[in-house]
Amino acid sequence: MPVLTFEDPKIADLVHKEARRLEETLDLIAAENHSPPAIMEVLGSVFNTKTIEGYPGRRYHAGCIHADAVERLANSRAKTLFNAEHANVQPHSGTSANLAVYFSVLDIGDKILSMTLSHGGHLSHGHPVSIAGKCFEIQHYGVNSKSGLIDYGALTSLAKAFKPNMIVAGASSYPRLIDYEKIAETAASLQAYFMVDMAHIGGLVAAGVIPSPVPFADFVTLTCYKTMMGGRGGIILCRDVFAQQIDKAVFPGCQGTSAVNSIAAKAVILKMAMGKPFVALQEKTIDTARALAKRFIKKRYRVLTDGTDTHQVIIDVASRGVDAGLVEKALERSNIILNRNILPGDEQKTGTISGIRMGTAAMVARGMGRVEVDIVADLIDRVITHVTKPDVILEVKNKIISLCHRFPVYQAPV
């Protein structure tokens, strides 16, 4: 980056440091991934310049000929890949996408039934601190305290009593498949809309390695930077009958100009997702996550739902007598990056966070697999067991750096 180094050496230095951090740390954040070089290239392309408002062929600024082509491509690829009737590729993020869905068909004060945050839901599904929580009346469902699986019976009873205008499925921290058909039936019986937020599992669905919610939901949202690995931003898929309302809710309803470089990155990843290497990567992501869960079960950890069907593995560290925040920090010092995670039941004990959440997408993206997962699980266990021992943390850090050097994220600095 010779130009940046000249213009702003401090930021250039931070970019170099971040690149090195990524190369030498193991990224197990379930909401992150390493984007392929083609995505990095297009994100830094001249499309950064273009201001667009409106939709292809109906813009508020001149000079959109190539931006229109980009958006049309992204749009048609999204529809083809996910077999959706309509797509909107403009949302800046998953939360923007979710808000646009709510405001497309709901009025302020309408009722939404969604999964509670402490059981795996997302802030934008109506937590009191979010705009959705302030604008709509929210009721939450959760998981069964024994199995950790969504309690569909309770969900249906709650829905019958609450009579929501919309039911939201999808989670940020839930490792199992969701029975979309069952929730869709409940929604239909109450004439409620059904939205699925598949932000975390978008890439797995795109590859066809887990079932798609698209046939069952009126609206499906996803983000492009998790398992989808295509850079920042979100996408909305919906039935044709809602196309106009969704487009209006995104622009001008919820946002102004959209990022054309980001839409171009979405187009690129949507094309890549149609290829065999992407599918193989997503298969390996699940396979690796299953192996990770098994390894922790073997070590007698409480693994939520006893395993996983996705990229996520969530374990209870409090039951091993360790504070999850302390574990997160000790692992960070050991070059293993993940996040502490509230677990079902924690909400009854104020301030308690019992778990850690891991995702295997980023480690698989850099070429790691079954062999490495066992090594990593053993090292995580070592840190958890010796969370306050600096010599152990240093020993694990050195091992992780050596491992990471064998699996570079980018062959050359991006």
* Nearest distance, CB of residue 320 and ligand DSN, angstroms: 23
* Nearest distance, CB of residue 122 and ligand DSN, angstroms: 5
Helices (runs of H) and strands (runs of E) counted in the chain: 16, 17
CA atoms within 13 Å, Cβ hemisphere of 145: 4
* Nearest distance, CB of residue 223 and ligand DSN, angstroms: 6
For residue 111, which phi and psi values (nearest 5 degrees)?
-105, 135
339-368 footprint of ligand DSN as x/- string (CB under 6 A): ------------------------------
Residue 375: which of 64, 26, 41, 35 has the closest Cα?
A: 26
Q: With respect to ligand DSN, which residue has the nearer C-beta, 158 or 206?
A: 206
Residues in a beta bridge with 140: 114
* Nearest distance, CB of residue 19 and ligand DSN, angstroms: 22
Residues in a beta bridge with 238: 86, 219
Q: With respect to ligand DSN, which residue has the nearer C-beta, 105 or 205?
A: 205
> Taking a C-beta distance cutoff of 8 angstroms, is the pair 364, 281 a contact?
yes
Q: With respect to ligand DSN, which residue has the nearer C-beta, 96 or 172?
A: 172
Residues in a beta bridge with 259: 51
Burial class (CB in 10 A: 0-12, 13-18, 19+), 358: buried
Q: Does position 289 bind ligand DSN by CB under 6 A?
A: no
Between CA 371 and CA 327 the distance in angstroms is 23
For residue 178, which phi and psi values (nearest 5 degrees)?
-110, 140
DSSP 114: E
> Taking a C-beta distance cutoff of 8 angstroms, is the pair 125, 133 a contact?
no
Q: With respect to ligand DSN, which residue has the nearer C-beta, 74 or 228?
A: 228
Q: With respect to ligand DSN, which residue has the nearer C-beta, 75 or 341?
A: 341
Task: Tell me how far CA of residue 128 lies from CA of 99, 139, 346, 392, in angstroms.
Answer: 14, 11, 18, 41
> Taking a C-beta distance cutoff of 8 angstroms, is the pair 104, 246 a contact?
yes
* Nearest distance, CB of residue 172 and ligand DSN, angstroms: 4
Q: With respect to ligand DSN, which residue has the nearer C-beta, 172 or 258?
A: 172
Residue nearest to ligand DSN (CB): 31
How many other CB atoms sit within 10 Å of the CB of residue 8? 13
Helices 152-162 & 180-189 angle (0-180, nearest 10): 20
Residues 157-186 within binding reach of ligand DSN (CB under 6 A): 172
* Nearest distance, CB of residue 25 and ligand DSN, angstroms: 17
* Nearest distance, CB of residue 173 and ligand DSN, angstroms: 7
Residue 264: which of 28, 32, 46 has the closest Cα?
A: 46
How many residues touch ligand DSN (CB under 6 A)? 3
Q: With respect to ligand DSN, which residue has the nearer C-beta, 261 or 341?
A: 341
Q: With respect to ligand DSN, which residue has the nearer C-beta, 121 or 148?
A: 121
- What contacts 32, CB < 8 A, 6 or more positions away? 225, 226, 359, 361, 362
* Nearest distance, CB of residue 392 and ligand DSN, angstroms: 27
Q: With respect to ligand DSN, which residue has the nearer C-beta, 43 or 224?
A: 224
Q: Which of 31, 99, 331, 358 touches ligand DSN by CB under 6 A?
A: 31
53-92 footprint of ligand DSN as x/- string (CB under 6 A): ----------------------------------------
Residues 115-134 within binding reach of ligand DSN (CB under 6 A): 122
* Nearest distance, CB of residue 368 and ligand DSN, angstroms: 21
How many other CB atoms sit within 10 Å of the CB of residue 255? 17
Q: With respect to ligand DSN, which residue has the nearer C-beta, 210 or 361?
A: 361
Q: What does the binding site for ligand DSN look like in residue numbers (CB under 6 A)?
A: 31, 122, 172
